[in-house]
Amino acid sequence: MSAGLAGIHHVALIVSDYARSKDFYTRILGLRVLAEHYRAQRDSWKLDLALPDGSQIELFSFPAPPPRPSRPEARGLRHLAFRVEDLDASIAHLHANGVATEPVRVDEYTGHRFTFLADPDELPLELYETVDALLHPA
């Protein structure tokens, strides 16, 4: 018997600079704000953001959060990947907004193209071109 998982509901991120991260995820990545709350007892903001498929990203701020030690192959979350239909257009948008990306690579097993970038806290983000983009090129 399975656990009945139907998909990812949300991913929660703790950010070091709430305003900077809010700008990045809303203005640059284009995520829609669902709710924003200031939690006075924790001196913390919570921002709920929607992706087009219904999944969400939660941004949290806390006073002086410690950095998360990390290396590319450390245990834990390695990166957060987003599906895109047009990788070249996504990269052009990011570059126009001052966001650097790594060179485009091709997944050796699927043949799909992808690239990496970093959010304001250096969290590695991946843009992964979807199958639909390969089946229906522009």
Task: Report the DSSP beta bridge partners of residue 54.
Answer: none
pTM recorded for the entire structure: 0.84
The CATH architecture annotation of domain 76-138 reads Roll (3.10)
Q: Are strands 56-61 and 10-15 parallel, antiparallel or unpaired?
A: parallel
pLDDT tens figures, 15-31: 999 999 999 999 999 99
The pLDDT score that the predictor gives to residue 46 is 95
Name the CATH topology of 7-65: 2,3-Dihydroxybiphenyl 1,2-Dioxygenase; domain 1 (3.10.180)
Dist. CA 120–CA 33, nearest whole Å: 18
Strands (E), 16-104: 32-39, 44-50, 56-61, 80-84
8 Å CB contact between 104 and 61: no
Pinpoint the residues of the chain covered by CATH 3.10.180.10: 7-65, 76-138
SS3 of residue 47 by DSSP:
strand
